Amino acid sequence: MLDSILEQVREGTLDIDDAKERLKTYKDLGFAKLDFHREERQGYPEVVFGEGKTVYQIIEIIKVLKARHRRILATRISPEKAAAIQKEVENLVYNETARTLFWKNAEEQTILYQGYVAVVSAGTSDLRVAEEAAVTVEAMGCEAVRICDVGVAGIHRLLDNLEIIRNATVSVVVAGMEGALPSAVGGLVSHPVIAVPTSVGYGANFGGLSALLSMINSCASGISVVNIDNGFGGGYNAALIHRMANEKRGEQQ
Amino acid sequence: MLDSILEQVREGTLDIDDAKERLKTYKDLGFAKLDFHREERQGYPEVVFGEGKTVYQIIEIIKVLKARHRRILATRISPEKAAAIQKEVENLVYNETARTLFWKNAEEQTILYQGYVAVVSAGTSDLRVAEEAAVTVEAMGCEAVRICDVGVAGIHRLLDNLEIIRNATVSVVVAGMEGALPSAVGGLVSHPVIAVPTSVGYGANFGGLSALLSMINSCASGISVVNIDNGFGGGYNAALIHRMANEKRGEQQ
Amino acid sequence: MLDSILEQVREGTLDIDDAKERLKTYKDLGFAKLDFHREERQGYPEVVFGEGKTVYQIIEIIKVLKARHRRILATRISPEKAAAIQKEVENLVYNETARTLFWKNAEEQTILYQGYVAVVSAGTSDLRVAEEAAVTVEAMGCEAVRICDVGVAGIHRLLDNLEIIRNATVSVVVAGMEGALPSAVGGLVSHPVIAVPTSVGYGANFGGLSALLSMINSCASGISVVNIDNGFGGGYNAALIHRMANEKRGEQQ
Amino acid sequence: MLDSILEQVREGTLDIDDAKERLKTYKDLGFAKLDFHREERQGYPEVVFGEGKTVYQIIEIIKVLKARHRRILATRISPEKAAAIQKEVENLVYNETARTLFWKNAEEQTILYQGYVAVVSAGTSDLRVAEEAAVTVEAMGCEAVRICDVGVAGIHRLLDNLEIIRNATVSVVVAGMEGALPSAVGGLVSHPVIAVPTSVGYGANFGGLSALLSMINSCASGISVVNIDNGFGGGYNAALIHRMANEKRGEQQ
Amino acid sequence: MLDSILEQVREGTLDIDDAKERLKTYKDLGFAKLDFHREERQGYPEVVFGEGKTVYQIIEIIKVLKARHRRILATRISPEKAAAIQKEVENLVYNETARTLFWKNAEEQTILYQGYVAVVSAGTSDLRVAEEAAVTVEAMGCEAVRICDVGVAGIHRLLDNLEIIRNATVSVVVAGMEGALPSAVGGLVSHPVIAVPTSVGYGANFGGLSALLSMINSCASGISVVNIDNGFGGGYNAALIHRMANEKRGEQQ
Amino acid sequence: MLDSILEQVREGTLDIDDAKERLKTYKDLGFAKLDFHREERQGYPEVVFGEGKTVYQIIEIIKVLKARHRRILATRISPEKAAAIQKEVENLVYNETARTLFWKNAEEQTILYQGYVAVVSAGTSDLRVAEEAAVTVEAMGCEAVRICDVGVAGIHRLLDNLEIIRNATVSVVVAGMEGALPSAVGGLVSHPVIAVPTSVGYGANFGGLSALLSMINSCASGISVVNIDNGFGGGYNAALIHRMANEKRGEQQ
Amino acid sequence: MLDSILEQVREGTLDIDDAKERLKTYKDLGFAKLDFHREERQGYPEVVFGEGKTVYQIIEIIKVLKARHRRILATRISPEKAAAIQKEVENLVYNETARTLFWKNAEEQTILYQGYVAVVSAGTSDLRVAEEAAVTVEAMGCEAVRICDVGVAGIHRLLDNLEIIRNATVSVVVAGMEGALPSAVGGLVSHPVIAVPTSVGYGANFGGLSALLSMINSCASGISVVNIDNGFGGGYNAALIHRMANEKRGEQQ
Amino acid sequence: MLDSILEQVREGTLDIDDAKERLKTYKDLGFAKLDFHREERQGYPEVVFGEGKTVYQIIEIIKVLKARHRRILATRISPEKAAAIQKEVENLVYNETARTLFWKNAEEQTILYQGYVAVVSAGTSDLRVAEEAAVTVEAMGCEAVRICDVGVAGIHRLLDNLEIIRNATVSVVVAGMEGALPSAVGGLVSHPVIAVPTSVGYGANFGGLSALLSMINSCASGISVVNIDNGFGGGYNAALIHRMANEKRGEQQ
C-alpha cells in the first residue's frame, strides 16, 4: 500500500494532503475510535466489548458498525442492557448464557466453513464461559459443537465423547478449579487446544489463578492459553485456526 | 495414663517427684530432643529428617534410637552423607532415588499388613518424590506398588494400570507441573487419595505452587494434599490409613 | 467388566451397539450429566454442590437422584434456596449452620459403622465449616463427635478434650487465622488428621491463605489438607477412612 | 479402532487376550514409558525433554525411538550432554542457541509444507527461546522465518518487518521484560499469534511473571500463551496450525 | 530559614517561644492537620484526597484552604458528594469523568506555562484515570492535550498521533490490561514518560498488577511509574517537570 | 498448681474426679467456650472480638463476663450492633471511631499506671485503627496520648511532636499506604515501637500488604509488627509493656 | 536540647557556626556514616550488620566504635570473616551458631538487669536464629534462657518447660515451617511475645512466608512479629522491654 | 520528515527505492539491531545493557557505536568482562561500584548543564545501585551530587543534608528494605523524585518487592518509580528532566 501511495504521489495523481488523509482509518465517536483499518474479510464480525460501556455508547457503536460491516458481536452484555439495546437496534439476537448480542446482515450465510470446532467444558458452572466461546466461533462463520460436563474427575465421560472431540479441527477447552481438562484433552487429540481457565471455584482458587497456572504448566503439547473467563478469546483463536484449516474444503466443493 | 498416675500417687505407690519424672518423655542431645512420648507401636519407624543436620548429629540420633526402636527411617540424606553414616552405623540400607536410609531390627518382619498402597507418579522427574513415599510406606510395614509415568497427558497409560490402582487400599499420587493426576485418579477410584505436588517443572511452575494449587482445588472427592515434594508425608499418611484398614485382614488369617 | 463385555460379544450374546451402549453411564439433564458410573455402595450419598446452581436445577437433580439412590447430600445451600427446594421435595433436612440439605430413604439406617470421627474446630467462626464436615461424615453413615472452640491460643482447652479426640478413628481439624490447630492435634494423636483451613480472619489472612500455608507446612506427621472452607472435603475424606478402618468391627459383631 | 477390535473379537479373528494386548501401546524402559499410542504421522518428530534426564537415559530413549520414528527432537540439552550423546548416536545435529538435538531419517525431506511460520523476538536475550521455537517448527517439517530484536521500545523496527510477518500463516512471538510485543504484533496481523513469555529481565520481572501476565491480559484478539521460556511449546503449536492451514497448498502442486 | 531564626534569636529580635512558634506550620482541624509549611508558589493548588473523607470534612478543609490559597483541587469525589459540597462552597467546578472538584481565585490565570503535557490513554475504560491526570495538569497551570484510545493493539492509531505526542514536554501514559502503551510511547519520544497503570481488565489482571508489572519492567528508557489508578500522581509529576522545563519560555516572552 | 493438685490427691483431700474437674476452666455457652483459665489480674479487660458474632451472642457473652470480671472490651462492633447491645446491657460506652464497646465496674479506677503510651498515626484514614489501639490501651488501665496525621510525607509535623512521643514508655505507630512511619519513629525514639499496618490505600496497596511488608522490613531497631488493621493487637502489646515498665512508679508513690 | 542551644545562642555563649556544628552527630567513613546521635546509654551495644560489608569495612567500623562505646555487636559474620577480623581487633568473641562477634570493655559488667528473657525455639534448624536472638539479649546486658526444640507437634515438651517460660519478663519465640509456636506460647503466658519467623522449611514454605503469615495472623493476644530470620530484631525488642520492666529491681537492691 | 520525503518523491529528487531505504535506521549485527533512528542529540550517550551479552558481542557493539556517537555507556559489566573489553577498546573508563564502562570522544565536554541532580541513598548496600544512577546522570552530561547513608531510621542525617537536596533540580532516591526514603524526601522537596527500589534486604523483602510496593504506594506527591535495582533508569529519567529544566541557564550565560 505504501508503494502504491508513493507511486501515485510521484505521478501526481494523489496530492500530499490526500496521501496523509489516507492514513485516517477510523471514525472518532469521542468516547472511542472505531477502527476501519483492516479490510473487511468475509465472515469476520466486528466485536464490541460491552463491559464498562453504557447502553448509549453500545448503541452508537453498533449503529456505526452496521453501516460498514455484515456481522457484529457484542460480549459481556447483561440482560438489562441487552433489552435496552434491542429496543433501539433491530435484529439483534441475545444469548443469555453467553451474555452476547449478535447481528448479521440478513443475506449473510451463517456457517461458511466445513468441519467444526469442539467447545469442551468441565463443569456446569463453566457453561457461561464455554457458551461465550461457542457463540464467538459461530459469529466467525464456523460451526461449534458443545461437549459439556466432562471434567477429569469423571474421565469416562470425557472418553465417551472422545471421537467427536478428535474429529474437530481445533478444541476450546474450558475449566475452572484445578483446570486439568486441557491436559487430558491435549493428550488425547492431535489438533491444537485453546485452553480457557475460568474463575469458577472457591478457597485457594484465587479467582481462577489455580486453573490458569495449571493450564500454562500443562505437560501436554499443543495447548495454549487465554485469560481467565475469556471465552471470547478462546473462541476467536479457535475460529481463526479453523478458517485457515478449512478454506480448502469450502473451496473444493 | 493420667488416671493411672493419679491413682498410683494416691495409693502412695508413686511419689510426686516420680510422677513428675514420668512426664520427662524425651532424651535431650543438646541440639535436639528425642521424643519417647508415644508408646512404640509395632512397625512404626522413628523418623529422622536429615536436611540441615550434620553427619555427626544424624549418627548420634540414630544410635540413641536404635537402643529403643526396631525401625528407623532417615530422609533427605545425600549420597555423601549416607556413605559417611553407613561407616559408623551397621545395617543401614540406602535408597539412592529416595535418598533415604533405613534400618530395622534383624528379627523384624518387613511387611506386616495385607493388601498394598499404590504409589502413582506422573513423570520421570517425579520419581524421586514417589520413591520417598514408597520407601516410607514400606518402612511402616506396608507393601507399596509403584505405578510410574502415567501422567494425564497420556491418559491411556493411566487407564491401563487402573485395575492395580483400584485394588489398593489407598493411593499416593505424585505429580509436578499442572498436578492434574490426582484429580484423574480420584475420579476413577473410591478409596482415599493422598496427593503430593512436586517442584518439577519450569516457568510459571513457581517451585511447585502450580501443582499444589491444582491439587488443593481438585474437583474430585476423596483427595487430600501434603506439602510440595513431601514424599515422606504422602507415604506416612497412606500407611496410617492402610494399617487401620487392613488390621482385620491380618488378624483374620 | 471389560472382560465380561468382550466375552459376551464373542459369544454373540451382546451385539456391538449394545456393547457401546453399556458405556453410557449417566443421565444427561442438559445443564449437567448425572453420573451412574460407580455401583452404588451402601451408605454413600450422592452429593450436589449447590453453589452457582439455581433452585430449579437443584430440584431436578435431586428428583433424578432419589429414584436411584438412598442418600443425597446437597451443600452450599442458602436458607432461601433451602426453603424453596423443601417445598418441592419431601423429607429434606436442612442444617442452617452447615448450609446443607440431606435426604435419606426412610428405611436406611443412619449410622452404619462403629467408632467415630472427631470434628475439631478452633474458633466460633469456624463452626460453619466444621458443621459441613460433621454433616458430611454423618451422611456417609458414620458418627461425628464435635469438639469446638479449642484453638491453640488456649491450649488447655484442647488438652481437656484430648482423650475424646484420641479415641476417634480419624480427626477433621478446622481452623482459620494462623491455622495452627492441626499441628497441635497432629502431635497429640496417632491417627490420620484431615486439616481444613478456613477463610476466617482479617488483614494478612488473605482469604484463608495463611491457614492453608500453615497446614501444608505442618511439621507434624499424619496431616493432609483440603481446600479453604472445604468442610465437605474434610468430612468426606475422614469418612472414607473411617469406613475402611471400621468395617471389621461392624462385621465382627 | 474400538469398533474394529470388537468386530474381530466377534468374528473370532482376534481372541480376548490379543484384544487386551492391543492396548499395550508403549515400551517400558523402567525409568520411562515410551508412548506408541498415536499412529505416526508424516513429519511429526518424537520429542524428548532433556532437562533432568541423564545422558544414559537420553541415549536409551533415542535408540528406541530411532527404530520406530523418522524424526526425533531433544530439547534442553546442554553442550556437554550433547557432545556425550553425539558420540553414541550418529547423525544428531546440535543447535547451540536453542540447545536442541535433532535427528531425521536420511531420506526424509526437511520442509513438507508451503508457506512459513514467523518467529518474532523482542531482544537479544530472548534469542535462546526463539531459536528453540524455530527449531521445533522446522522439526515439524515447516519453514521458520526469524525476525529478531524488534521489541516495542523501537516500534519502527517492527514496522519495517511487518510485511514478512503478515505473510506468515502464524506467528510465534517471544518477549521477556514487559512482554508487550505480542500485543503489538497481534494488532498488526490477522493470523493466530502464539505468545511465549521469557524469564529475561530483572527486578520486578519475577522470573517471567511480568511478561506472562502481560500476554495473558493482552487486549489484542488472536493471541494465546504458553509457559515461560517454553519455546518448544510455542513452536509446536504454531506448526500444528501451519500444517493444517497449508496442506492444501502442498497438495495442490 | 534556620540561620535566619538563629540570627534573630541572637539579636534578641525573636524570643525563644516565638522561635518555637515559628515551627507551627499547620492548622489543626481535629481530624486533619492542614499544612502551611511550604511557601505558596504561583499556580500550585492545594490538594484534597476525597476518598474516605465525609462531605463535612471536605467542606471544612476547603473553607480553610480558600483563605490562604488561590487554587484547590479535590480528587476522588463522587457525584453525590460533589453536589453536596457545591451547595456549601461557591465556584467549584466538578469534572464527572475525573471525579474532581476544582476551585481557583477569579483573578488567577488558568494556563501559566507555554507548551503542553500529552495525556495518552489506551482504551475507553482508562478515560477516568486519564482525565484525573489531565485535570491535575490543568490545576497546576499547565495545558493538557488528551490523546485517547490509542492502545498498542491498534498501533497505527498511536502512530497517527505521534507528532502531537512528540511535541509535548512530557507524556502521561495511562493503560490497563497488559499496560504496554508506555513502552511503545517511550520508544517513540525523547521526553520523560510518566506511566499510570489502571485496574481496567479482568481475569489475571489482578486489580492492575499486570499493568503495573509491565510498566515497571519496561525496556524503554525514560519511563517511571506511579500507583495503579493514580491519575493525580501521573498528572502532578508531569506538571512538575513541565513547569521547570517551560519557565524559560514563559519568561522570555 | 500441678504440684498442689498432686499433693492434695496424695493427701486424700482431693479425690481424682475433683482433680480432673479442676481442669475445667471455662464456661461453655454452646457457641463459645469462655475461658476462666487465667487468674484475673487487676485492670485486664476480658475481650470480645465482635466480628462474625450475632448481637445475641455478644450479649450472652458480656452477661457471663460481667459476673466475673471488672472490665470488658468488645471490638469490631458496628453502630447498629452497638445500639442493640446497649439496650440490653447497661453502662456500655460506645466509641464510634474505634467501633468498640467498653464496660467497667463503677468502682474501678480508670488509669492505673503512671506515664503513657503514644498512639501515633499517619493519615486521617488511619484514625479508625489508631483509635481502636488507644481505646484498648485505656481499657488496660493505661493512659494513651494520640498524635495524628504525622505521616512521613510531612516529616516536620512528626518532628514537632517528637518530644511527646519520646517521653512515652512505648509507641503504637499506625500507618497505611507505604507504611513508612514506624521506621521514622523507630529511628527517633529509644523505646519499643509496635507497628500496625492498615489497609488504607488503593492500587498496589493490596489490602495493606504494602504497609505490612514495609514495617516487617524496617531497618530501624526496636520495631515489631501486628496484623493489618489490628489496632487492638497494637494497643494490647503496648499496654502489656507499659504496665510492666511502670509498676515501679505506681508503687513507689 | 534545642532549647539549650537556643538559650546559649541568645546568651552569646554559643555562636551560630558552633550551634550548627552541634548538629554534626556522626562520623563519615566514606562508605558509611557512624551515628553518634543518641547519647550512649548504659549497656546498649553499637550494632554492625555484617552482611554485604567487607572485612576491611567491618574492621574500620569496629575500630571507630571502640573509641566511643563500651559494647559492640556485629551480626551476620561468617566464620571466615570472623577469623580475619579477630586477627585485627582484640577481645572479640565469636559465636559460631549465631554468627555474631561481640566485644565489651573489660570493666563492663555482663548482666545488668534482674530476671531473664526466654528464647524459645521450635526445631533444631531454628537454632541459628534463636541463638542470634539470645546473643543480642545478652549484648544488651540481659540474661537469656534458651528453651529449644519445643515445637507444637510435640506440645508436651512445651508444657514441660512452661514454668521457666512463664517466669520470664518477655519471650522471643522462633519457629519456621507452619510457625505455630508463638500462638501456643502466647496462649500460655501473660507477658509480651516477640515472634521470629524463620526460613526453615521446604515446599510451600516460600522462604519463611508461611511462618510469617501464621504469626501475623495469630489469634493469641500479646504477640508481635519481626522479619523472617531476624533473630537480632527479636532479641533487641525483647531486651528493650526487659530493661524497662526490670530497672526497678536492679535499682531497688 | 514524512512530509519532506513525500515532497522529494513528488519533485522527483528522491526515487521510491531510496525513499524506502531512508527507513532503514539501524545496523544489523546478526545478534542485535543497532538503532540509528533518533538523530543524535548533544550529550546523549548510546547505552549498552551488558547483562547476558558476551564480551565479543559487547566489543562489536561498542566498535560500531564509536563510529557514530560521541558518548557510550555500558551497564552491568563485571570486572572480568570490563578488563577483557578494555583490552580491545581504548579509552573506556570502568567504575567498579556502578559496574559501568564509559567512553566519550576526547573533545566532548563532560558537564553540559548548570545545576545538579541529587542522588540520595539509604544504606551502604544501596551504593551499587546509586552509583549506577550517578554515573548515568554524568554520562548524560549532567552533574550528580551523591548523598549516602541517610535512611529514614536516622532521619537527622537526612535533615542535615536537606539543603543540598532541596537545591537540586531533581532527586534520584535509592533504597532497599522498607523503601521509605523517597516518601521522606518527597515530603521535604518540591522538585520531582525518581524512586529506585533495591533488592537489598532479607526475609520478607522478596527480592525488592517490599521496597517497590512502598514506593509505588507513597503518600508524597511528585514521586515516580523505576524497576528494582534499575539505577540506570533512575539516572536516565533524572537527567532527561534536568536537561530540559536547565537548558535555559546554560544558554543564558
Concatenating the DSSP letter of every residue in C162-212 gives HHHHHTSSEEEEEE-TT--HHHHHHTT-SS-EEEEE-----GGGGGGHHHH
User: What pLDDT score was predicted for residue G52?
Assistant: 80
Within 8 A by CB and 6+ apart from C13, the residues are: none
Query: Which chain C residues are Cβ-neighbours of A148 within 8 angstroms?
Result: 31, 33
**Band of residue H78 on the pLDDT scale cut at 50, 70, 90:** very high
| φ, ψ of residue E191 in degrees (nearest 5) | -105, 170
For chain B, positions 111-140, list CB contacts with chain D under 8 A.
124-125, 127
Q: Do E229 and F200 touch (CB under 8 A)?
A: no
* Distance of alpha carbon E31 from alpha carbon E14, whole angstroms: 32
Q: Do D33 and B127 touch (CB under 8 A)?
A: no
**DSSP 8-state class, residue C241:** H
Q: Where are the beta strands (DSSP E) in chain F?
A: 26-28, 33-35, 46-49, 71-75, 93-95, 100-104, 117-121, 144-147, 170-175, 193-197, 223-225
Tally Cβ neighbours within 10 Å of residue D11: 9
pLDDT per residue over F230-239, tens digit each?
Answer: 999 999 999 9
Q: Do E203 and A228 touch (CB under 8 A)?
A: yes
**DSSP 8-state class, residue F170:** E
User: What pLDDT score was predicted for residue A221?
Assistant: 87
* Distance of alpha carbon H234 from alpha carbon D145, whole angstroms: 37
Q: Inform me whether the pLDDT recorded for F81 exceeds 50.
A: yes
**Using CB atoms, which residue from F33, F208, F227 is nearest to C149?**
F33
* Distance of alpha carbon D160 from alpha carbon D137, whole angstroms: 24
C-beta of residue C192 within 8 angstroms of C-beta of residue C234:
no
pLDDT per residue over B40-73, tens digit each?
Answer: 567 788 899 888 888 998 999 999 888 878 899 9
Q: Which of G145, G96, G129, G136 is nearest to G212 (CA)?
A: G129
Rama region for A5: left / alpha / beta (φ>0; ψ in -120 to 50; rest): alpha
C117 Cα to chain G: minimum distance (Å): 21
* Residue spans in chain F of domains classed CATH 3.40.50.1970: 117-252
User: What pLDDT score was predicted for residue H187?
Assistant: 87
For chain C, positions 160-199, list CB contacts with chain G under 8 A.
177-180, 183-184, 186-188
**Using CB atoms, which residue from D25, D32, D208 is nearest to B203?**
D208
Q: Do A10 and H7 touch (CB under 8 A)?
A: no
Query: Are chains E and F in touch, 3+ Cβ pairs below 8 Å?
Result: yes
User: What pLDDT score was predicted for residue D218?
Assistant: 92
**DSSP 8-state class, residue H9:** H
| φ, ψ of residue F48 in degrees (nearest 5) | -115, 120
Average pLDDT over residues F47-52: 87
Q: Is B125 helix (H, G, I), strand (E, B) or coil?
A: helix
> Subunits touching D (CB < 8 Å, at least 3 pairs)?
A, B, C, E, H
Q: By CA distance, what is A191's nearest residue in D?
A: D240
Q: By CA distance, what is B218's nearest residue in A?
A: A178
Query: Which chain D residues are Cβ-neighbours of E183 within 8 angstroms?
Result: 151-153, 178, 180
H218 Cα to chain F: minimum distance (Å): 5
pLDDT per residue over B89-116, tens digit each?
Answer: 999 999 999 999 999 988 888 889 999 9
User: What pLDDT score was predicted for residue H36?
Assistant: 54
* Distance of alpha carbon C204 from alpha carbon F215, whole angstroms: 13
B18 touching chain F per CB within 8 A? no
* CA G212 vs CA D142, F225, G2, G209, H77: distances in Å: 52, 11, 41, 5, 37
Write down the mean pLDDT value for chain C. 86
Query: Are chains E and B in touch, 3+ Cβ pairs below 8 Å?
Result: no
F90 Cα to chain G: minimum distance (Å): 27
C-beta of residue C154 within 8 angstroms of C-beta of residue C132:
no
Residues in chain D: 253
Query: Which chain G residues are Cβ-neighbours of C215 within 8 angstroms?
Result: 178
Query: Which chain A residues are Cβ-neighbours of H10 within 8 angstroms?
Result: 9-10, 12, 16
User: What pLDDT score was predicted for residue E23?
Assistant: 43
Give percent of chain C with pLDDT exceeding 70.
83
Q: Is F11 helix (H, G, I), strand (E, B) or coil?
A: coil
Q: Which of A76, A98, A157 is nearest to A122 (CA)?
A: A157
pLDDT per residue over D75-91, tens digit each?
Answer: 999 999 999 999 999 99
D14 touching chain C per CB within 8 A? no
Q: Inform me whether the pLDDT recorded for C253 exceeds 60.
A: no
Mark the ranges of chain D whose per-residue pLDDT is less than 50. Answer: 1, 23-24, 39, 248-253
Query: Which chain A residues are Cβ-neighbours of E156 within 8 angstroms?
Result: 23, 25, 37
Q: Which grid cell sits at D89?
A: 548416536
Q: Inform me whether the pLDDT recorded for C70 exceeds 90.
A: no
Chosen for mutation from F128, F149, F155, F200 (greatest number of chain E CBs closer than 10 Å) is F149
Tally Cβ neighbours within 10 Å of residue D17: 8
H207 touching chain G per CB within 8 A? no
* CA G36 vs CA G22, G44, G65, H204: distances in Å: 11, 13, 10, 29
Q: Is C23 helix (H, G, I), strand (E, B) or coil?
A: coil
C59 Cα to chain B: minimum distance (Å): 22
Q: What is the mean pLDDT of each run of 10 residues along chain G (253 residues)?
A: 63 71 56 58 83 89 87 95 95 95 90 94 91 97 94 82 94 95 91 96 90 93 95 96 74 44
Rama region for E99: left / alpha / beta (φ>0; ψ in -120 to 50; rest): left
Q: By CA distance, what is B216's nearest residue in A?
A: A204
Average pLDDT over residues F132-145: 96
D117-252: CATH topology is Rossmann fold (3.40.50)
* Distance of alpha carbon G10 from alpha carbon E18, whole angstroms: 13
User: What pLDDT score was predicted for residue E6?
Assistant: 59
Residue C3: exposure state from Cβ atoms within 10 A (0-12, 13-18, ≥19): exposed
E17 touching chain G per CB within 8 A? no
C180 Cα to chain G: minimum distance (Å): 5
* Single-letter residue type at E245: A
Q: Do H16 and A9 touch (CB under 8 A)?
A: no
> Subunits touching B (CB < 8 Å, at least 3 pairs)?
A, C, D, F, G
User: What pLDDT score was predicted for residue H30?
Assistant: 61
Per the listing, cell 435419606 goes with C104
* Distance of alpha carbon E49 from alpha carbon F130, whole angstroms: 20
What ipTM did this prediction achieve?
0.86
Q: Do C203 and F33 touch (CB under 8 A)?
A: no
* Distance of alpha carbon A115 from alpha carbon E15, whole angstroms: 94
Per the listing, cell 460533589 goes with E82
G211 touching chain C per CB within 8 A? yes
Mark the ranges of chain E whose per-residue pLDDT is less than 70. Answer: 1-7, 9, 16-41, 247-253
Q: Do E237 and H224 touch (CB under 8 A)?
A: yes
**Using CB atoms, which residue from E47, E192, E227 is nearest to H217?**
E227
Number of Cβ pairs < 8 A linking chain F and chain G: 82
Query: Which chain B residues are Cβ-neighbours of D230 within 8 angstroms?
Result: 202-203
**Band of residue B35 on the pLDDT scale cut at 50, 70, 90:** low
* CA B51 vs CA B34, B210, B234, C16, C223: distances in Å: 17, 24, 18, 59, 20
**Using CB atoms, which residue from G33, G57, G207 is nearest to H157?**
G33
* Single-letter residue type at F97: T
Average pLDDT over residues C36-63: 80
Q: Inform me whether the pLDDT recorded for H252 exceeds 50.
A: no
Q: Which grid cell sits at D237?
A: 503449536
The sheet with strand A71-75 has its strands ordered as: A46-49, A71-75, A100-104, A93-95
* Distance of alpha carbon G83 from alpha carbon G1, whole angstroms: 42
For chain C, positions 50-89, list CB contacts with chain A under 8 A.
51-53, 57
Q: Which grid cell sits at C104?
A: 435419606
D220 touching chain E per CB within 8 A? yes
Q: Do A183 and B123 touch (CB under 8 A)?
A: no
CA angle C173, C176, C177 (to 5 degrees): 135
User: What pLDDT score was predicted for residue C21?
Assistant: 56
Please, what's the b/e burial string for D64-94 (b: 16 or more CB within 10 A of its CB; e: otherwise)?
Answer: bbbeebbbbbbbbbeeebbebbbeebeebeb
pLDDT per residue over G212-224, tens digit each?
Answer: 999 999 988 899 9
Q: Where are the beta strands (DSSP E) in H148-187?
A: 170-175
Q: Which of A197-201, C169-173, F36-40 has the highest mean pLDDT?
A: C169-173
Q: Which grid cell sits at D132?
A: 528453540
* Distance of alpha carbon G89 from alpha carbon G107, whole angstroms: 18
* Distance of alpha carbon H20 from alpha carbon H3, whole angstroms: 14
**Band of residue F248 on the pLDDT scale cut at 50, 70, 90:** very low
**Band of residue B249 on the pLDDT scale cut at 50, 70, 90:** very low
What is the DSSP code string of C115-141? SEEEEEESSGGGHHHHHHHHHHHHHTT
* CA A65 vs CA A82, C94, D189, H73, H127: distances in Å: 17, 53, 21, 51, 58
Query: Which chain H residues are Cβ-neighbours of E198 within 8 angstroms?
Result: none
Query: Which chain B residues are Cβ-neighbours of A151 within 8 angstroms?
Result: 187, 219
Q: What is the dihedral of CA A158, A161, A167, A168, to 10 degrees?
A: -70
